[in-house]
A and B are shown apart, each in its own frame.
Chain A
Amino acid sequence: MAKFTKATSIKDWINQRLAIEKVEKVMGSEYWIPKNINFLWAMGMVLVITFVLLLVSGIFLLMYYQPNIDTAFYSVNYTIMRDVDFGWLWRHIHGVAASVVFLIIYIHMFTGIYYGSYKKGREMIWLSGMLLLVAFSAEAFSGYILPWGQMSYWAGMVITNLFSGGSLHADGLVEWIRGDYVPAQAFLSRFFMLHVLLIPLAILGLIGLHFAALRIPHVNNQDGEEIDFDAESKKYLDGDKKGSKVIRFANDFMSKDMMVAGIYLVFFFYLVFYNYGFAMDPVNFDPADGLKTPAHIYPEWYFLWSYEILRPFSIDIGLIAFAFAQGIFLGLPFLDRSPNAIAANRRGPAFMIWFWLMLTNMIVLTAMGKLPPEDPYSTIGYWAAILFIVQWLALPIITSYEKKV
Chain B
Amino acid sequence: MKNKEPLILAVVVFFSLATYYLVEPYAHHILHKDVESKGFVYDGSDDILEVENIISGLQKTKLEKELEYKDASADEKQKLKTAIITSENDIAIQKVRLEKKQTFFSDVARIAKIKGDAVTGEAIFATCSGCHNDAGIVMGTIPPSLDNAGVYYTKNYLIGIIKDPVMISNVDHKFSVENEHPMASVKYMVSSDEDIANVVAYMQKIAISPEKVTPKMAYENTCGRCHSVVYEKWTQLGTTEKFKHKKDTLAAEIKVLEYEDSLKVYMGKLPPDLSMYIRSRGEHFISTFIENPQSQLEGTSMPRVGVTADTADKVVEYLKNAGDTKRHEREEIGRNVMIYIVIFALFAFLWKREIWKDLH
Please give the residue numbers on chain A whose beta carbons come within 8 Å of chain B beta carbons, in ascending order. 35-36, 38-40, 77-78, 81-82, 88-89, 92, 103, 107, 222, 241-242, 247, 251-252, 255-256, 258-259, 261-263, 265-266, 269-270, 272-274, 277-278, 280, 282-287, 295-296, 301, 304, 359, 363, 366-367, 370-372
Contact = CB atoms under 8 A, between A and B. Distances in A.
A82 B326 CA distance: 7
A35 B31 contact: no
Contacts of B326: 81-82, 88
Contact of B276 (A38, A39, A107, A285): A285
Interface stretch (B20-28, B121-129, B254-262): B20-28
Given A367-B27, A370-B27, A261 B348 contact: yes
B22 A363 contact: yes
25 contacts: A39-B8, A77-B323, A82-B325, A82-B326, A88-B329, A103-B16, A255-B352, A255-B356, A258-B351, A262-B349, A265-B344, A266-B342, A270-B338, A273-B331, A273-B334, A283-B280, A285-B323, A286-B280, A301-B23, A359-B15, A363-B19, A363-B22, A366-B22, A367-B19, A367-B23
Task: Kindly list the 8 A-B residue pairs having the minimum CB-CB distance in the complex, ordered from nearest.
Answer: A262-B345, A273-B334, A367-B22, A285-B280, A262-B348, A285-B279, A255-B352, A259-B352
Contacts of B329: 88
B281 A266 contact: no
Q: Which of B279, B323, B344 gathers most chain A CB within 10 Å?
A: B279
B4 A38 contact: yes
Contacts of B359: 35, 241-242, 247, 252
B93 interface: no
Nearest to B272: A286
Interface string B314-329: 0000000001011001
B18 interface: yes
Interface of B: 1, 4-5, 8-9, 12, 15-16, 18-20, 22-24, 26-27, 30-31, 231, 275-277, 279-282, 323, 325-326, 329-331, 333-334, 337-338, 341-342, 344-349, 351-352, 354-356, 358-360
A255 B355 CA distance: 7
Given A242-B358, A252-B355, A274 B9 contact: no
Which of B9, B338, B354 has the most A CB atoms < 10 Å from its CB?
B338
A124 B185 CA distance: 80
Nearest to B349: A259
Contacts of A82: 231, 325-326
A370 B23 contact: yes
A258 B337 contact: no
A81 B331 CA distance: 15
Contacts of B31: 295-296, 370-372
Given A242-B358, A269-B338, A81 B349 contact: no
B339 to A, nearest CB: 10
A150 to B, nearest CB: 8
A110 B23 CA distance: 20
Contacts of B26: 367
B360 A242 contact: yes
Contacts of B330: 88-89, 92, 273
Contacts of A301: 19, 23
Given A82-B326, A283-B280, 9 more contacts: A40-B12, A77-B323, A88-B330, A252-B355, A255-B356, A266-B342, A273-B333, A273-B338, A363-B19
B216 to A, nearest CB: 16
Contacts of A81: 325-326
Contacts of B24: 277-278
A107 B338 CA distance: 24
Contacts of B18: 363
A381 to B, nearest CB: 12
A379 to B, nearest CB: 15
A297 to B, nearest CB: 11
B55 to A, nearest CB: 25
B233 to A, nearest CB: 11
A295 B285 CA distance: 16
B158 to A, nearest CB: 33
B19 A39 contact: no
Nearest to B322: A82
B15 to A, nearest CB: 7
Nearest to A241: B358
B27 A371 contact: yes
Nearest to B26: A367
A371 B351 contact: no
A306 B236 CA distance: 45
B5 A39 contact: yes
B76 to A, nearest CB: 27
A303 to B, nearest CB: 11
A301 B23 CA distance: 7
A401 B251 CA distance: 82
A223 B333 CA distance: 44
B333 A255 contact: no
A366 B351 CA distance: 39
Best-buried of B8, B331, B345, B360 by chain A (most CB within 10 Å): B345
B38 to A, nearest CB: 24
B8 A40 contact: yes
A367 B18 CA distance: 10
Contacts of A296: 31
Given A273-B334, A283-B280, A263 B345 contact: yes
Nearest to B9: A39
Given A77-B276, A363-B19, A266 B338 contact: yes
Contacts of A304: 23
Nearest to B281: A282
B280 A89 contact: no
Contacts of A283: 280
B89 to A, nearest CB: 31
Nearest to A374: B30
A390 B231 CA distance: 53
A167 B20 CA distance: 36
A296 B360 CA distance: 54
A97 to B, nearest CB: 14
A278 B231 CA distance: 24
B195 to A, nearest CB: 44
